[in-house]
Amino acid sequence: MIRRISTKWVLAVLWAVVVPFVGFAWFVDVKVSDRLAGDVVRYYLVTMASDLAERLDEELSERHKDAEMLAGVQLVGWLVEDVVDSNSEPGGVSFEGMVQTLFDVVVESHGVYDYVVALTPEGRPVMTNSVDASGAELPGWLGELWRESSFGDRPWFQRALQRGNALIDFDHWSFVGPGEDRSGYYIGFAQRIEKWPRGSEAAGVLLTLMSWDKIQRQVDAYGRRESTDEKARIVGEDIYASSYAWVWKRDGDTIIAHPDHSLYGRRVSELAGGALRSLSQAVQERERGMYPDYTFRGVNKKAAFARCRAPANGGLGWVVGVGVNDDDIYAPVHELSTWLLSTSAVILGIAVLFTFFIAHRTTRPIRELEQHTRRVGQGDLSARLRVRSRDELGQLATSFNRMTEDLERAQEKLVKAEKEAAWREMARQVAHEIKNPLTPISLSAGLLERSWKEKSEDFDRILERTIPMIQRQVETMREVARDFYAFAGEHKDPRPVPLALLVGHVLDLNAAWAEEQGIRFEVSVPDDLYVRADPDEFQRALLNLVTNAIVAMPEGGRLYVRAFQEGQEIILEIRDTGTGIDPEVAEHLFEPYFTTRSSGTGLGLAIVRRVVEDLGGTVELRNAEDGPGAVARIVLPKAP
């Protein structure tokens, strides 16, 4: 059986440290990893896919507006009309140079187009840009290639003539010249050119071509994203470092954008021997959401998708996907679990050493008292304890020494009686101070022990009911000591502190209690209000006022906290919607030891007044004028 106090202390600390840390490590490893794999990752992926889809829609919309703007320029329409009417080459048109300059400026300034082309109603090009996005001259064979081409039979050209505009989806365009190949994938925007003045017939069609590489770069930018913000990481590398994006055609099966360009044009349903067919099926069922978990090239992945706007709404109906490797999802969690276990071991070792040290220092006076008591019991009345402190053990040593001195001076017949009387008196005084909180603590502990030994089915309910009661009794003893110290303690040097920070700390401490009673906080404290005070002392004063306000609202209500500046003074008001203040006790509220509650020392409001007045301010507690409840008003000088 364990008898030594130091051993009990060590075992208690081990239990208090090991169980919470092991439980927390388990919680992080199991619950947090599940959440990362579930809620957080799903939210991230769906959000990223939706965001990328919106950005691609915005890109298409902007490019369509550019084409519409260019087609609406009168010079472009006049140029095409003159070429058609004169049945000649564009070189004979007087304002050809102005249109050429316009096309070149658009290509160079926007930096997204490779070609801007004006077409006749028959689909014959009459004007193209002469420079690229960097301002470099295009080779002459490109202009010849355009002039020799005809697009009158293209579906997109007919749609533009008939409906006003058309989008050209992911398509390969061939531009091959002497010793040079500029072919590639493009996306186009065709816009009908109206005649001036506007008539029923079109003057032609304006075509703008944007290289698919620009779309691919946007997709790549939404793929792999290395986090540079250390605060945004839990531990180790960014869990989304392996994420990447892709785009499929409207059919939900054809790849048109992917980090691996060799997959362009491949069908998803045919990849990996058809193992990815479920991904293609998922996008047919809804507009956005999560893909089924899948494996690609031997790597387990999670991914989400979102559709771009449908063609009827000015889009191309692409399917945008964003995925991430499973290993990168769980790696930070496993790293965090390892770190927690290592930290637990270190803290455990430090706690054991510290506990041994404290236990030794605490039990040494007790062992000395035991030894000296044994000497007195053997008749040695010269035994004296060394007083090492002014705490309870020091007071006990002083009382012991006084007792032995009295016993030395007393007669032999009175030694035993005086010794017993002294012990009885000491025991009565100690019992008087602690019996009230210790009695319910003892009963609760006994009830817990009995229900545990009997394996009672109500053990959990009894534990939930008794532990808070024991904590409240312990807090009662702490509160008495804390209140007396706060009332008589010395001031620390005050300094400017933000009032909003102090109020926030106090409300956070009472948030759980207030929520339990159905009380809502409404706070209006500007961040730029500063008061000169000791933060701990002033926060203690605010805590007393907030506590009183919450106690005054047992059925719930609202607690209003607001602060503002009037001249060089800061006004802080704390208002509750409780029962208010009885006029008979209003004059005595700030007097020491006066309280209207059945518990407490009666020093709370006295402490508030002492703290505020020592800071050069005033405090007032009165009933609200425009409704139920009471208002505490504190006025303090403004600090810089």
Strands of the sheet containing 569-576, edge to edge, are 519-524, 557-566, 569-576, 630-637, 618-623
- Which of 344-348, 433-437, 514-518 is the most confident on average? 514-518
Residue 451 has pLDDT above 70, yes or no: yes
The amino acid occupying position 312 is A
- For 55-114, the pLDDT digits (tens) are 999 999 999 999 999 998 888 888 888 777 665 444 444 578 889 999 999 999 988 999
* Same domain, residue pair 424 and 451: yes
Lowest average pLDDT, out of 256-265, 337-346, 537-546, goes to 337-346
Report yes or no on 66 lying in a domain. Answer: no
Nearest CA among 604, 606, 507 for reference residue 560: 507
* Same domain, residue pair 344 and 313: no
Residue predicted with more confidence, 240 or 429? 240
pLDDT at 93: 47
* Same domain, residue pair 88 and 151: yes
Residue 34 has pLDDT above 70, yes or no: no
Looking at the chain, the whole-number percentage of residues with pLDDT higher than 90 is: 28
pLDDT at 187: 94
Lowest average pLDDT, out of 264-273, 346-355, 356-365, 620-629, goes to 356-365
* Same domain, residue pair 404 and 541: no
Lowest average pLDDT, out of 137-151, 365-379, 394-408, 473-487, goes to 473-487
Residue 417: which pLDDT band, with cuts at 50, 70 and 90? low
- Which of 25-34, 255-264, 329-338, 469-478 is the most confident on average? 255-264
- For 215-246, the pLDDT digits (tens) are 998 888 875 554 444 444 433 445 556 678 99
Question: For position 265, which CATH number holds?
Answer: 3.30.450.20
Report yes or no on 284 lying in a domain. Answer: yes
pLDDT at 235: 38
* Same domain, residue pair 359 and 467: yes
Strands of the sheet containing 113-119, edge to edge, are 125-128, 113-119, 202-211, 184-194, 165-173
Residue predicted with more confidence, 176 or 40? 176
Question: What is the secondary structure of 88-146 as a DSSP string?
Answer: S-GGG-TTHHHHHHHHHHHHHHH--EEEEEEE-TTS-EEEE-SB-TTSPBPPHHHHHHH
Residue 159 has pLDDT above 90, yes or no: yes
- Which of 49-63, 369-383, 588-602 is the most confident on average? 49-63
Residue 363 has pLDDT above 90, yes or no: no
Domain boundary among 449, 478, 507: 478
* Same domain, residue pair 389 and 419: yes
Mean pLDDT, residues 448-477 taken together: 77
List the domain range (segments joined by +) for residue 513: 490-637
Looking at the chain, the whole-number percentage of residues with pLDDT higher than 70 is: 74
Domain boundary among 213, 234, 267: 213
Report yes or no on 418 lying in a domain. Answer: yes
pLDDT at 430: 39
Residue 546 has pLDDT above 60, yes or no: yes
Answering whether pTM is above 0.95, one says no
Lowest average pLDDT, out of 170-179, 292-301, 479-488, goes to 479-488
User: How many domains, the chain?
Assistant: 4
Question: For position 610, which CATH number holds?
Answer: 3.30.565.10
Report yes or no on 67 lying in a domain. Answer: no
Burial class (CB in 10 A: 0-12, 13-18, 19+), 157: buried
pLDDT at 508: 87
pLDDT at 580: 81
pLDDT at 229: 45
* Same domain, residue pair 330 and 345: no
Lowest average pLDDT, out of 272-281, 361-370, 429-438, 507-516, goes to 429-438
* Same domain, residue pair 207 and 116: yes
Mean pLDDT, residues 459-480 taken together: 71
Cis omega (within 30 of 0) for bond into 637: no
Instruction: Looking at 164-285, list the stretches that DSSP marks H as alpha helix, in order from N- to C-terminal side.
Output: 212-221, 277-285
* Same domain, residue pair 104 and 131: yes
- For 602-636, the pLDDT digits (tens) are 556 777 888 888 888 898 888 888 878 888 899 99
Report yes or no on 444 lying in a domain. Answer: yes
* Same domain, residue pair 547 and 626: yes
Residue 465 has pLDDT above 90, yes or no: no
* Same domain, residue pair 148 and 202: yes
Residue 199: count of CB within 10 angstroms of its CB: 9
- For 117-145, the pLDDT digits (tens) are 999 999 999 999 999 999 999 999 998 99
* Same domain, residue pair 51 and 132: no
Residue 50 has pLDDT above 50, yes or no: yes
Residue 600 has pLDDT above 50, yes or no: no
Mean pLDDT, residues 40-64 taken together: 89
Report yes or no on 218 lying in a domain. Answer: no
Residue predicted with more confidence, 249 or 606? 249
Report yes or no on 262 lying in a domain. Answer: yes
Domain boundary among 317, 334, 351: 334
Residue predicted with more confidence, 449 or 490? 449
Nearest CA among 331, 409, 9, 59 for reference residue 215: 59
Report yes or no on 94 lying in a domain. Answer: yes
Three-state secondary structure of 183-207: CEEEEEEEEEEECCCCCCCEEEEEE
Mean pLDDT, residues 321-326 taken together: 86
Q: Can you tell me the distance from the alpha carbon of 397 to that of 386, in angstroms, rounded to the nearest whole number?
A: 7
Q: Can you tell me the distance from the alpha carbon of 466 to that of 447, in angstroms, rounded to the nearest whole number?
A: 9
- Which of 163-177, 362-376, 498-512, 570-584 is the most confident on average? 163-177
- Which of 108-122, 416-430, 487-501, 573-587 is the most confident on average? 108-122
Residue 344 has pLDDT above 90, yes or no: no
| Strand, helix or coil for residue 258 | coil
